[in-house]
Structures are given as structure tokens and as C-alpha cells.
Structure 1
């Protein structure tokens, strides 16, 4: 009987009971067990209830070896003490709406397209089901959503019934139950018959509405993101607020918002392309300047601070293309790292791969490349100038 107490009435928000035990679990968390309880423990895809026992906060509820553990914020109780408990009804009713909405959505996929659900997750903001298919169309989603909301609008009774294993054959179950005893069915007549231990409202109308928000492919299955009840209004409010902000920023109507965003993205791509071209041009100017100030006839050596190595690689390639007889040594001090870029022109015979293998251990660095182009970096206390001085020892 204790196993069924928290199903006794999904609409009970408060009650009285007697403390059976107060102790710590294996993780040193304090919990109570009660003679009777209406707190729902985590299970079947539905999160646990929260609330209070004698004004002490209930943080978690779990079923362990047949007992319902109420994890509490502080151990202030005594065995045999009479207590009052209060369930967080806003949380409980939200979970009832989402959980029952999942029943209806899953049954609609089965009824309309024969698509089975393999898993269900009830999160703080969104609910998901994973479908046993690799693809669903927008038309299928629209039809399923419409069917689910029609069932909700019908305000059909939701019946819970305890049955034996032998009685299961009397019902057209959506899927086979996984327990042998204490079997509880949740029934929406002429639509869905399902074994379930969660909490549900007494009629589909109390779900309010259901909205599919998004889909994604997860491990070869289609994941559906949706919300029910008050969460639909929360999502609508959030999206409407964002929509209004964007329409004001773009000085566009809701109907013209899509076009305005496309224009904005196209302009951004054009600007990005122009910026890339300008950067490339500046690198060519910088290369000419470096060639005019090189240390000797066959070497360009420079120290940089906070300069991206990708940019230095581009600059080095421009230099060796413009001056095939030179070699390039760039060192950058970037947030505690020394990074080096080595390059040579086609008429220079310094082996950059060999040089990098000789100089990177000096800075505990790693890198790689070819005989004509190499790069790497490492953490060191050396300055860029000190590092360059040590590199000179390996140059012929």
C-alpha cells in the first residue's frame, strides 16, 4: 500500500503524516521516511516533487528499495513525530501538464504514422521525446500537433486504474508494461492506453495546449522539443519579446522581418569580404616594408606582441613569394606563450622542418611543418628577443 500512496490523489497539495526514520544516506545527505506521503519520487521520466515538511525544505525525493526518501535541508525531526507537509503545487501541476502532454503527443505519432517513441525527458524549460525514425517532415509535425491539440480541446477524461498482469489483455496498450505487479494504467479512452506511474490531471483540457518547438537528429533518432500548458505562454512571451526587440532594431514589421534579416546578413557578408581584402592588402604593404628593412640580404626576422599566428603565417607566405631568396623568422609573444613561424623562399635552402625540431624544445614547445614552412609554440619564461638569440645559434 505504501507504494501507491503518492498516486492516491494527484490534486492533494498538503497532508499530515508520522516520521518513520531520519538518517543519512551513502552520500551523507539527510532524509526522512514517512508513514504516508504524497510526494512523488523521481521516476518514469518525471522529476520529483519539492515542498516542505514542518516548514523544512524538501530538496529531493527518491524511491530506494521500496521506501520513499524525502531529502531535507536540515535534520530537525524525531522518529514518531507528527508532521505537516506541503507540496509545491505550481511545480507539480506543471509536471502533470508536461507529462500528460507527452502521452498525447506520443500516441498521436503512433495513431497517425505508426512512429514509436523510444525515450522521454522532462526538463525545466523544454520536454523532449526521441522517435524511432531518422526523419519526420514538417507536414507530419503539423498534423501530429493538430491532433494532439484536438485531444486536449476535447477535454477527455483521464482515468488511472490498477490492474493485474492477467487483466492487461483487456486493454489496447500502446506499449508493453515492464512490471509484473502493481500495474497502473493511464487511460484516455479511445485514444491512449499506457502503463505509467506518473502524475496526471483528471482531463486532457487541463493540459491547456501543446506546441512543438524544434527537432534535431540524436544518435540516429529524431528528437522532438515541445512544451505544454503554462510553458506555451512562457515560450510565447519570450519569443514575442525577442521579436519586438528585433523589429525595433531593424525598423521592420513582423511580416518584413525575414527579408530585413536576409538583407542584413548579405550586407554583413559583403563587409566581411571587404574587410578580408583590406587585411590582405595591409599584409602586402607590411611585407614590402619588412623587405625594405631586413636584417641582412637573406633574412627577415621580427618580434611581435599579441599577434595571431594565422596572420603571421599569411605574412610569411607573402614575403617568401615576393622574395624567393630569403628566410623568415617570426616570433610572437601571445599571453604567456612564445609562438614561432619559419618560412623560406624557393631559392633559399634552410631546412625549416629541421630548424623547428632544434629550436622548439628550447621553449618546451610543439609544432610541425615542412622543409619550406614550419610553425609551433610553447610556454617559457624567455622573452622573444632571448629566444631569437638562441635560434641564431642553429642558423648557418
Structure 2
């Protein structure tokens, strides 16, 4: 058994201990101590990191009362020796703030709405709790955030202690304990009682500020993403910086940024509409010129077009215009960014299956494609071979039309 010093004092950062065993786990040295401050991953909370005998601790695992410390490199100490450990305090304190904040939020949400917290996760950047509801009221985020911060600023004491199974029945736990025997309780000064083995701050004042970021529906549950303490402060500072820089780009005040962005969006939509109209007119003129200059098989014009920079959308628009022309076949291709794209089409008064023409022409050069008799699309051939693909397609069209 490993004595858990973090149970007694989550603020303890250094300790000394006796090395009970050292073993290899998938090529990684693992050290068992008689006591430790290092918290192992459990209950949604990530493990501590730090140094053990000067060697970085990269993972901490609890197994049947034993806490194993996985090291980055082989240690210089051996079993039976004493060693000094030191946890990464900023990481630990961040985890403490998030975990205590989750207890406060879960109890608050349960009291206000009756929603139960079914799972939690404390990530490197954001923390989440999943609620047993698929729907939340419109003002849920703002109401809970304000109430949580008001509670936090009361500086309610947070303490941890052990009780037996008989005494635990007298406590108003949010959820029944998952273990038996002596049970560790984390209490927020008469407000919340939780069976928990995690690390926590001393008062709710250390949780603040609490920021609720978003809600996501996940099947029949709702995931709430939140930040607490210094993590929330850093998030505010970064977002304030970004918003200030954005306001500077517009030479305006921060409060005016949303309206400015809305105006820009409206202008962009108008410009995009005008651009599309101009592009349509240009393509219409270009298409008419291509048809006029195209060689014919009988009275059918075969338009062959290869562009190094035309988008797929432009090819589709050209195909739509060509299909409006009488007695016309279009063999269109682009090699933008070195990627071959081909679009074939024909007008309704031409008897020809351009999908088969495209598929057979591309297959000759290792490409794939196909489609309907009047429209087809494909690619996959080397960009350098597109001209040859078009030549092969033209040959097949001429044979079919002749």
C-alpha cells in the first residue's frame, strides 16, 4: 500500500519516501513508493507530473492501493533507498481549481434544475461535465455562471475527511459512493457533499472566476464546458487581447466590433453576389466564343477546354452554359494546384453518353470518373496527362458521333 499524502494536504509540493520496487513497464521505468504526493489519474482528473529523484515523472497509475510512478528515463536510485519527489505545482493547482469548481457547479445545477452530473473530464485546456438531460433552458449558461461566481466569492470552506459506511448514510451525497469501507468525503461547507479522492482547494474563493463556455448536445445528454480560476483568467486575457486587436483593425471601440463585423458580412455578401454575376457573364461570353470556334462533327460542336487555374465550380458553371447550347459537347478540364479535374457534358439534343466517354478516357491514364449520359465528372489522372485524356475523349466522341 502507498500512503497518499495528497489526501491529507493537497498543497504539499515536496516529500521524501522509500523506494519499494522498480520495474519495467513496456520499456518505461515504474517506481513504487511507500508514500507519495503524486496524484494518479482517476475520477476524470489527470495525473500529476514533476520530478522523482531528479527524473521527470510522466505518468502516475494507481493499482489496488499501490501508486506507480512512470519515469521519463531510468533512475539513479534503487529499491530500498530514499528519494525526494516534487510535483509540478502549477499543474496540480490548476487541477485543484477545476475539480473544486466542478463540485460547486454540479451541486448548483442539481439544486436549480435537478440535472445530475453523469461524468466529468478535466482536460489540459478545458474541463467538461455531462448532464443527464438533452435540453436546457435558454438562460441556463448565464444563470448558472452568475450564481456559481456569487457562491465562489463567499469563500466557502472546502475540506476532505474520511467516514465509515454507516456515517456516510447520514450525509446528503449527490451520488452514492462507488467504494466501500472508509470513504473520503469532500465537503463544500454544508453546501455540497461528494465521495471523491481528488485534490481540492481550501475555499471556493480560489475557484473564481468561473466561466461557462458552451453547451453541446450529445445524444440524450448535455455537455457543459467550463473554466475555473487562473485558467479562466488566462482565457479572458487572451480573448480580450484578440478583441482589442480586432477593434484596432477597424479603428473603433471594442463595443462597436460586433456591429462592424455585421456590416462587413453584409458588404461581403453583396460583393460576392456581384462577383458571381460578373463571373457568370464572363463565363457566358467565354463559352459562346469557345462554341463559335469549336470544330464540329456534322453539326455537333465539340468544345475542348483546359485551364491551369479554373475551379471545379467554374467548370460546372461552364458545363451548365454549354448544355444550354444546341448540338454541343463539352470536354472541360482543370489542373489547379496540380490536381486533375474533368467535367464532360452535352446538350439534350445530342445522342452521346459522356459518362462512358469520361470513364473510358480516364481509365487509359489511371484516373476514375463517370456519370450520366448528359453530365459526368472525374479525376485521378496525372496533371501532365490531362491534355492526352482530353485528346482521347475527343477521339471517342468523334467516333461515336460519326
Band the TM-score falls in, shorter-chain normalisation: over 0.9
Superimposed CA distance per residue, residues 282-321 of structure 1 (whole angstroms, 9 cap, x where no aligned partner)? 1111112212211225211222224323311211221231
Output aligned runs, 1:143-182, within 5 Å. 143-182=143-182
Q: Hey, which bits of structure 1, 4+ residues long, moved more than 4 A? A: 334-337
1:105 corresponding residue in structure 2: 105
Whether the 8 Å contact between 2:38 and 2:49 is mirrored in structure 1 is: yes
Q: Matched residue of 2:19: which SS?
A: strand
Whole-angstrom CA distance in 2 between matches of 1:119 and 1:326: 63
1:303 partnered with 2:306: yes
User: Alignment partner for residue 317 of structure 2, among 304, 314, 323?
Assistant: 314
Change (3 A) 1:387 1:356: closer
Change (3 A) 1:54 1:134: same
1:232 corresponding residue in structure 2: 232
1:33 corresponding residue in structure 2: 32
1:63 partnered with 2:62: yes
Whole-angstrom CA distance in 2 between matches of 1:261 and 1:333: 36
Whole-angstrom CA distance in 1 between matches of 2:69 and 2:46: 13
Change (3 A) 1:36 1:357: same
Compare 106-115 and 175-184 and name the one that shifted more. 175-184
Q: What is the total number of aligned residue pairs between the two structures?
A: 394
Superimposed CA distance per residue, residues 121-151 of structure 1 (whole angstroms, 9 cap, x where no aligned partner)? 1112221111111222342333322322232
1:285 corresponding residue in structure 2: 285
1:347 corresponding residue in structure 2: 349
Unmatched segments (≥5 aa) in structure 1: none
Say what the alpha-carbon RMSD is for the aligned residues: 1.9
Q: Matched residue of 2:254: which SS?
A: coil
Compare 260-269 and 163-172 and name the one that shifted more. 163-172
Residue 186 of structure 1 deviates from its aligned partner by 0.7
Output aligned runs, 1:185-264, within 5 Å. 185-264=185-264
Whole-angstrom CA distance in 2 between matches of 1:4 and 1:248: 52
User: Alignment partner for residue 362 of structure 1, among 361, 364, 374?
Assistant: 364
Change (3 A) 1:342 1:101: same
Compare 384-393 and 184-193 and name the one that shifted more. 384-393
Q: Matched residue of 1:74: which SS?
A: coil
Whole-angstrom CA distance in 2 between matches of 1:113 and 1:24: 49
Whether the 8 Å contact between 1:366 and 1:378 is mirrored in structure 2 is: yes
1:127 corresponding residue in structure 2: 127
Whole-angstrom CA distance in 1 between matches of 2:151 and 2:226: 16
Whole-angstrom CA distance in 1 between matches of 2:395 and 2:289: 27
Q: Matched residue of 2:202: which SS?
A: coil
Superimposed CA distance per residue, residues 184-203 of structure 1 (whole angstroms, 9 cap, x where no aligned partner)? 11112331111101011222
1:329 corresponding residue in structure 2: 331
2:83 corresponding residue in structure 1: 83
Change (3 A) 1:143 1:333: closer
Whole-angstrom CA distance in 2 between matches of 1:171 and 1:376: 68
Whole-angstrom CA distance in 2 between matches of 1:333 and 1:91: 51
Whether the 8 Å contact between 2:355 and 2:373 is mirrored in structure 1 is: yes
Superimposed CA distance per residue, residues 313-335 of structure 1 (whole angstroms, 9 cap, x where no aligned partner)? 211221231x2111111233345
Change (3 A) 1:146 1:167: same
Whether the 8 Å contact between 1:22 and 1:77 is mirrored in structure 2 is: no
Compare 87-96 and 131-140 and name the one that shifted more. 131-140
Compare 36-45 and 206-215 and name the one that shifted more. 206-215
2:6 corresponding residue in structure 1: 6
Change (3 A) 1:243 1:8: same
Whether the 8 Å contact between 1:10 and 1:199 is mirrored in structure 2 is: yes
Superimposed CA distance per residue, residues 82-140 of structure 1 (whole angstroms, 9 cap, x where no aligned partner)? 11111111111111111000000010001111111111111122211111112223423
Compare 121-130 and 1-10 and name the one that shifted more. 1-10
Superimposed CA distance per residue, residues 9-41 of structure 1 (whole angstroms, 9 cap, x where no aligned partner)? 11111111111122211x211121112111100
Whether the 8 Å contact between 1:363 and 1:377 is mirrored in structure 2 is: no
Residue 238 of structure 1 deviates from its aligned partner by 0.7
